[in-house]
Structure 1
Amino acid sequence: MTPQELWEKSRPPLEDALSKRMYTFWFSTTELTEIREVGEDRAIGVISGSSVFHLSNVENKYYAHIKEVFDKLTGKKFELQFAIKRGVKKQKSIAGGTGKGSSKKNPQEEFPNLFSQENQRIEGSQEKGKTFPTSFTFALQKAGLREDYAFETLAVSSSNEMAHAAAVAVSQNPGTAYNPLFLYGGVGVGKTHLMQAIGNNILRKNPQTPIAYITGEQFTNEIVAAIQQKRTIDLKKKFRNYKVLLVDDVQFIAGKNTVQEEFFHTFNAITPAGGQIILTSDRPPHEIMLLEDRLRSRFEAGLIVDIQQPSFELRTAILLIKAKKLELDLPMDVAQRIASAIESTRRLEGILIKLHSEHTLFKKPISIELVEEILGKIEKVEFPKQDIKPAEVLKTVAAQFHLTTNSLKGPSRVKNLVEARHIAMYILRYDLGVTLDQIGLLFNGRDHSSIIHATEKIKATIIENEELRTRVNAVKTSLSFRQES
């Protein structure tokens, strides 16, 4: 499918979601000019327009809409990039030139009050067909950063409070506070969001700052390509001239001697010159196998911060913040239902975008029922059911604690019984993938909030409490489950 064909096919669902008037206003002067295949199931679409202001608003307001439509029409996962049309001196008409559409008004002429002085300033910097994308949005694009990954869109709680404070400090005084800043944690805890928020804040103050965001894998690939193409000198100049370098999943370079050598010299070029380095990893430096000692010592010379899995309350807050950015009215009970089922912040965003698309493209009301429909499809993949029945879990836990299953399901608040009940709920939820509704029925109608509180309490305590971990593992051994470590 050509870019033009995809752009035309995307028009009806976008018009349906946004209204024809809004589509005409925002999309009639833009076009899909390029599709770049990235593997078998991914692609990058380049959307071009003649106004920096116009493109910035399309990106900020409708990125999720466009991506969802492209994904559905092509079966691929799209990323979008936005670029100024080359050789454009001014916008002549909605049709972009002479012919049938030449009599139509330009959106700036039809809706003059919606265009700011900032747009006029940027347009004034374009002369003789050249464009100078010096705006904040295009500085972010050049650096490889996402505008929505900002401090303003980050929910903060005890799980990421210290990391957030350190990131803010670095963004305010890059090169002086905590250098390097090393953030680590599991998948989906918000490391990338926090890292990019630093770059976002630095560029907001000064869009001219030489800054780059890159993953450890991308850094490795660039080194390999430079060696093959005999352009290592150019690559060294490129990386060593950055004022701020953000490397995501830096553990990827471990065990790759040439890559580690170049990163070592890049590190030594940036930091003494007053530059800032921010790193993320899935583990602390001392646990990264095959990492050279000289790199390990440099990583440990700065501030190392652990980011924990977000709590239920934080996940709910994240959903509400992201929903607001999507202009989606998300009821609290719906947000809590999603937060109770999904732990990864990255997957929370994916669920929310899916919910948003079902609502805007297919006019489905935002409801618990719609969420259950979406989650049901995911749970079939995420939580393959084991042969063990919930009743067997209750029976095994009761036997382990010398209780009856009826007392386990009952209202008693005796300490030993409460712990046993919580362990049973924990195993049902996380090992069998039993839904909150089903767990509630098993325990005589207990509500979602009490089940979430119980299971998250066990999950948080089991890490440090060896006695509790032993009791849980004893139950899991009887059930032939993988034990807690």
Structure 2
Amino acid sequence: MNSLRRQLLTELWEQAVTPLRKRLSAEDFDTWIRPLRPVRLDGSTVEVEVPNRMFATWIEEHFLEELSAAWLASAGRRVRFRFTEPSAEPLQGELFGPEVLGPSPQPSLFDAPANQHGGLRRRSAPGGLIPSYRFANFVVGANNQFARAAAIAVSEKPGCLYNPFLVFGGIGLGKTHLVNAIGNAIVQRDGDTRVLFITADAFTNRLIDAISRNRVQDFKQRMRRVDVLILDDVQCLAGRERTQEEFFHLFNALHDEGKQIVLTCDTFPNDIDGLEERLCNRFSWGLVADIKPPDLETRIAIVERKAREEGIKLPVDVATLIATEIDSNVRDLEAALTRLSAWASIHRREITIDLAREVLGSGRSQKPSRPTAEQVEARVVSHFGLKPGDLKARRRTKKLAEARHVAMYLMRNYAGMSFPAIGEYLGGRDHSTVIHGCQAVERRCREDQTYRGMIATLARLLERG
């Protein structure tokens, strides 16, 4: 790239990311955005240099939507981002914001579903399985020993022992890893077995697409051809009556034919508002296993294994510190390790116990508590320029309705409130109104990149407190 084009790219980049200084904390901007260096603009692809692979993963999972929206707002065009290490080939796969490039070709039934929280499609096997998720690298502890043993049994005799097999537990505890391990073990044993891993959101989106194309019957037939169905995040079916109706009949058809059904959920199904009783009953036909937060020894093992997989030289005392400070879930443990590794790489420092204390201590809390309804209300009121109490009032302007929908969505997905509780808090509204509001936000997020970026920003502000 000649100097003039490089200068132009640098100017475009600065124009795009400068507004993020106001939307992100100074620490987040300096740690994660400032080190990014644009090196090439090729059509609709911006190549960006990052310190290492883990840094790229963190950007994809936490800041990609903001970057995509910022570039669109600044340059007026949609682009995808491809990340490279210094003097290296582009990292495996392409990182790009959800729908940044507009509609993509309709995937086949066995294509990997896109990551629902960002643009990176994990490196996937046929059927959407994540090949790196196997029993061999699933760290076992007292918190998950029973669930893992049952999962292995299911993989050895699919459709025979526990059908359905449902795993539930909090966010980031390894449910997705475990059920992918089932699918990978089955495929490894018999490559002709048709295994499909799909999230509940992706299932819903494919159904919506089939309805819009008048191809529902084709959708049903293709889904019923699978031998093993793995549905992730069952709780996302809540409130979606048409999706639940279709999944109910799919469940019955697969179960009657002795085909294996594997499910994950973030809580016990009967405790999910908006999930039909007939589905809850069927989910209990087989085996239900829970995964609890890991104990200290298991957390240390998780950190050490992740460090080995990523080629990070991690002293034992640092692994112990991370595991001691963070007792919430596996995802938070890995996030802390990613942050520490990125910090050490950027500042060219060796990972030591002192550096770990400095980085983990200076960062925002790794044990975030869920925001309260009051905090969500305050944040939404501030963003939309409303007055306190407006969200609970009976007035209905377009601006108020949009703000209420956003508040409902955030209270449901980030404050963890039930639909009735949200309705009661927002002025005694019916729970069906809340469900409709949440669905309206989800639909708009799929269609509007800028709107999705706004929701992501509000969520991040709530997580920071």
Question: Which TM-score applies when normalising by structure 1?
Answer: 0.53
When residues 378 and 278 of structure 1 are mapped into structure 2, their CA distance, relative to the original with a 3 A threshold, is farther
Q: 1:349 aligned to 328, 334, 345, which one?
A: 334
Q: Indicate if the aligned counterparts of 2:51 and 2:345 stay in contact, CA closer than 8 A.
A: no
**C-alpha displacement of 1:31:** 8.4
Q: 1:268 aligned to 245, 248, 252, which one?
A: 252
Distance 2:293 2:284 in 1: 23
Distance 2:261 2:313 in 1: 38
* 1:318-350 deviation line (CA, Å, top 9, x unaligned): 111111111222221111111112221012122
**C-alpha displacement of 1:27:** 6.2
Secondary structure of the equivalent of 2:49? Answer: helix
Please name the residue that 1:465 is paired with.
none
> Does residue 438 of structure 2 align to residue 378 of structure 1?
no
> Does residue 49 of structure 2 align to residue 10 of structure 1?
yes
Gapped runs of 5+ residues in structure 2?
1-39, 57-83, 105-116, 370-465
Please name the residue that 2:217 is paired with.
233
Q: 1:311 aligned to 295, 300, 307, which one?
A: 295
**C-alpha displacement of 1:203:** 2.0
Please name the residue that 1:204 is paired with.
188
**C-alpha displacement of 1:301:** 0.4
Distance 1:339 1:217 in 2: 32
1:122-133 aligned at under 5 Å gives the runs none
Please name the residue that 2:177 is paired with.
193
Distance 2:148 2:308 in 1: 21
Please name the residue that 1:277 is paired with.
261
Distance 2:336 2:241 in 1: 39
Secondary structure of the equivalent of 1:37? Answer: coil
Secondary structure of the equivalent of 1:313? Answer: helix
1:145-184 aligned at under 5 Å gives the runs 145-184=129-168
1:343-422 aligned at under 5 Å gives the runs 343-360=328-345, 362-380=347-365
Q: 2:306 aligned to 322, 325, 347, which one?
A: 322
Please name the residue that 1:410 is paired with.
none
When residues 80 and 283 of structure 1 are mapped into structure 2, their CA distance, relative to the original with a 3 A threshold, is closer
Q: Indicate if the aligned counterparts of 1:170 and 1:198 stay in contact, CA closer than 8 A.
A: yes
> Does residue 233 of structure 2 align to residue 249 of structure 1?
yes
**C-alpha displacement of 1:160:** 0.7
1:13-92 aligned at under 5 Å gives the runs 36-38=96-98, 79-80=120-121
* 1:347-376 deviation line (CA, Å, top 9, x unaligned): 212222233334455532111222223323
Secondary structure of the equivalent of 1:379? Answer: coil
Distance 2:301 2:43 in 1: 39
Distance 2:198 2:256 in 1: 21
Please name the residue that 1:287 is paired with.
271
Q: Indicate if the aligned counterparts of 2:133 and 2:180 stay in contact, CA closer than 8 A.
A: yes
Q: Indicate if the aligned counterparts of 1:182 and 1:304 stay in contact, CA closer than 8 A.
A: yes
Please name the residue that 2:286 is paired with.
302
**C-alpha displacement of 1:171:** 1.1
Distance 2:88 2:190 in 1: 30
Distance 1:31 1:300 in 2: 42
The one-letter code sitting in structure 2 at the alignment partner of 1:350 is A
When residues 258 and 6 of structure 1 are mapped into structure 2, their CA distance, relative to the original with a 3 A threshold, is closer
Secondary structure of the equivalent of 1:79? Answer: coil
**C-alpha displacement of 1:378:** 3.5
Q: Which has the higher contact order (CA 8 A, sep 6+)?
A: 2
The one-letter code sitting in structure 2 at the alignment partner of 1:37 is G
1:95-114 aligned at under 5 Å gives the runs none
Distance 2:91 2:42 in 1: 8
Q: Indicate if the aligned counterparts of 2:147 and 2:167 stay in contact, CA closer than 8 A.
A: yes
Q: Which has the larger radius of gyration?
A: 1
**C-alpha displacement of 1:168:** 0.7
When residues 183 and 174 of structure 1 are mapped into structure 2, their CA distance, relative to the original with a 3 A threshold, is same
When residues 377 and 237 of structure 1 are mapped into structure 2, their CA distance, relative to the original with a 3 A threshold, is farther
Q: Indicate if the aligned counterparts of 1:3 and 1:34 stay in contact, CA closer than 8 A.
A: no
Distance 2:88 2:191 in 1: 26
Q: Indicate if the aligned counterparts of 2:200 and 2:234 stay in contact, CA closer than 8 A.
A: yes
When residues 77 and 288 of structure 1 are mapped into structure 2, their CA distance, relative to the original with a 3 A threshold, is closer
Distance 2:51 2:307 in 1: 24
The one-letter code sitting in structure 1 at the alignment partner of 2:186 is I
**C-alpha displacement of 1:6:** 6.5
Please name the residue that 1:448 is paired with.
none
When residues 331 and 6 of structure 1 are mapped into structure 2, their CA distance, relative to the original with a 3 A threshold, is farther
Distance 2:250 2:363 in 1: 42
- Across the aligned residues of Structure 1 and Structure 2, the Cα RMSD in angstroms comes to 3.4
Secondary structure of the equivalent of 2:308? Answer: helix
The one-letter code sitting in structure 1 at the alignment partner of 2:194 is P
* 1:52-79 deviation line (CA, Å, top 9, x unaligned): xxxxxxxxxxxxxxxxxxxxxxxx9652
**C-alpha displacement of 1:9:** 4.7
The one-letter code sitting in structure 2 at the alignment partner of 1:79 is L
Distance 1:256 1:193 in 2: 26
Give percent identity, aligned residues only: 38
Distance 1:369 1:355 in 2: 11
User: How many residues get paired?
Assistant: 285
Gapped runs of 5+ residues in structure 1?
18-22, 45-75, 83-139, 385-485
Question: Which TM-score applies when normalising by structure 2?
Answer: 0.55
Distance 1:37 1:276 in 2: 34
Distance 2:278 2:152 in 1: 28
Q: Indicate if the aligned counterparts of 1:183 and 1:307 stay in contact, CA closer than 8 A.
A: yes
**C-alpha displacement of 1:204:** 2.2
Q: Indicate if the aligned counterparts of 1:255 and 1:291 stay in contact, CA closer than 8 A.
A: yes
Secondary structure of the equivalent of 2:97? Answer: strand
